[in-house]
Amino acid sequence: MKTLLFTPFLFLCSVVIGQSNKIIGTPIRIGIEVAQNDFPTQMIWDDAVKACADLGKGWRLPTKDELNLMYLNKDKIGCFGFIYWSSTKGEGDDIDEWWLQNFAYGWQFLKINNFPHSYVRAVRSF
């Protein structure tokens, strides 16, 4: 019975670890470590925060300033989509607004949490 329960657990762990390795790849260092790849699907902010944290070992959603640093180094990092979530909240306490970065033009803007799905690139401090 223990073997029957343990086998699905090992499979689930290998799927999560495999996904993490594909996203993290070979991190690029630009004052922070940036995962080599985006998550394979765009997502809402709540899911983006959880997905980054699930990578483990300090991986997280970048701040507004870190996203801008990533934009300024986008040629070194490579392979960016269009609009990315940050972990930086807007200034209104009663509104669930978060900063996003447009990687085509470089500007940043505020949108509510359930803004249509956006790209996610994880970072961590080193």
Closest among 65, 45, 55 to 116, alpha carbons compared: 45
At 125, give phi and psi (nearest 5°). -80, 150
At 121, give phi and psi (nearest 5°). -130, 125
pLDDT of residue 18: 56
State which H helix or E strand residue 88 sits in: strand 83-89
Domain layout of the chain by residue ranges? 2-124
Tens of pLDDT along 74-90? 999 988 989 999 999 98
Tens of pLDDT along 37-73? 999 999 999 999 999 999 999 999 999 999 999 999 9
Tens of pLDDT along 96-121? 889 999 999 999 998 876 677 899 99
Pick the CATH number of 2-124 from 3.10.100.10, 3.30.70.980, 3.30.70.2860, 3.40.440.10: 3.10.100.10
